[in-house]
Structure 1
């Protein structure tokens, strides 16, 4: 199954292989402010449908996660980084996916503030 998503204005559009079965809510300083609900996938499961140059990127703290956002509408559709084992991953903001019933999915709470 392929899921589709975008920022609000559509400048950043993407496809991701699979469908979320669980979400992660993090309380770190950036996730808490954005209200992001994440679905982690291998990076090669994510395909941009628009040019990467259309995205802006923000990093902070240890600068290991690239938080991508739209410079036009400000929405954060996904981030990229590496798992502790070194594998490349993408953290999809499920709120940006089309047709997902967020209320039907379990949410795991992650204490990112403690890092």
Structure 2
């Protein structure tokens, strides 16, 4: 069930990293790669034109591994993962929907993506 396109704001736990997205939530995704399994996030894919970082970049810590293409971002203070720049589609971000304010994922289809086998 797609929702009407709307703007949502989100943040890490301590609020040092704040952002906004515009989406209609066509689907949510999980991933089985080594980092996604450990952070257990539920993500929505958003084009970079529909993403706005509301805080400065000082609060962000970047982590890359394997091919060093995907860019995973974490809060320097509380360690929460709010979003990452995707590996296969680098003009899109994966947004951790559990960081969005006043958002419940109920009724949105969830697709499991295969990341573990990516070379």
Q: Same fold (TM over 0.5)?
A: yes
Residue 11 of structure 1 aligns to a residue whose secondary structure is coil
Determine the structure 1 residue equivalent to 2:62. 57
Q: How many residues align?
A: 113
Determine the structure 1 residue equivalent to 2:113. 110
- TM-score normalised according to structure 1 size: 0.91
> Which structure has the highest helix share of the two?
1
- The partner residue of 1:97 within 94, 97, 100 is 100
Mapping for residues 1-115 of structure 1, pairs under 5 Å? 1-81=6-86, 83-84=88-89, 88-115=91-118
- TM-score normalised according to structure 2 size: 0.88
Pair 25,74 (structure 1): closer, same or farther in 2 beyond 3 Å:
same
Structure 1 residue ranges, 4+ long, deviating more than 6 angstroms after superposition: none
* CA-CA distance at 1:21 after TM superposition: 3.1
* CA-CA distance at 1:54 after TM superposition: 1.5
Tell me which moved more, 57-66 or 99-108.
Answer: 99-108
Structure 1 gaps of 5+ residues are: none
Structure 2 gaps of 5+ residues are: 1-5
Residue 95 of structure 1 aligns to a residue whose secondary structure is helix
* CA-CA distance at 1:25 after TM superposition: 0.5
Answer yes or no: is the 8 Å Cα contact 2:59–2:77 preserved in 1.
no
Answer yes or no: is the 8 Å Cα contact 1:29–1:113 preserved in 2.
yes
Answer yes or no: is the 8 Å Cα contact 1:82–1:88 preserved in 2.
no
Query: In structure 1, what is the Cα distance between the partners aligned to 2:93 and 2:35?
Result: 16
